[in-house]
Amino acid sequence: MEDDDGMTCDTISVTRSELGDEERMKLDAKDALGQAPQEEELHFKDLRGELSVANRRGLRLSGGVGVVGQQFARFISLQQQFAENPLLKTKIGSLKDRVSSLTC
């Protein structure tokens, strides 16, 4: 499959490393990410239209990111529909006036 860079696919490797000071965590993460391809099975998969090679943890993480992105796009769409609905604007204005009169 060809994208802007030519023939490419995404490579996703996710692993765990020990907590500690910042520099130690960076070194541990580099070691863990270097070992992951040798120790774990890799999978070739189409993730939301993008070809990817990933370990199992990478597949789980990338799937979650896609779902969050889809839900955020849906939220923005609903927010725009709400903001552009003249009936809702009128109703909200009326409710604000009623609350205002009740609190005076």
Beta strands at 50-55 and 10-12: parallel, antiparallel or unpaired: parallel
User: Using CB atoms within 10 A of its CB, is residue 32 exposed (0-12), middle (13-18) or buried (19+)?
Assistant: middle
Angstrom distance (rounded) from CA 31 to CA 36: 9
> Tens digit of pLDDT per residue, the chain (104 long)?
444 556 776 667 766 777 878 888 888 877 776 776 677 777 777 777 777 777 777 777 776 566 677 788 888 888 888 888 888 888 888 889 888 888 86
Query: Where are the chain's structural domains?
Result: 2-103
Residue of 5, 3, 31, 34 lying closest to 18 (CA atoms): 31
Cα four-point dihedral sign 35, 41, 45, 51: positive
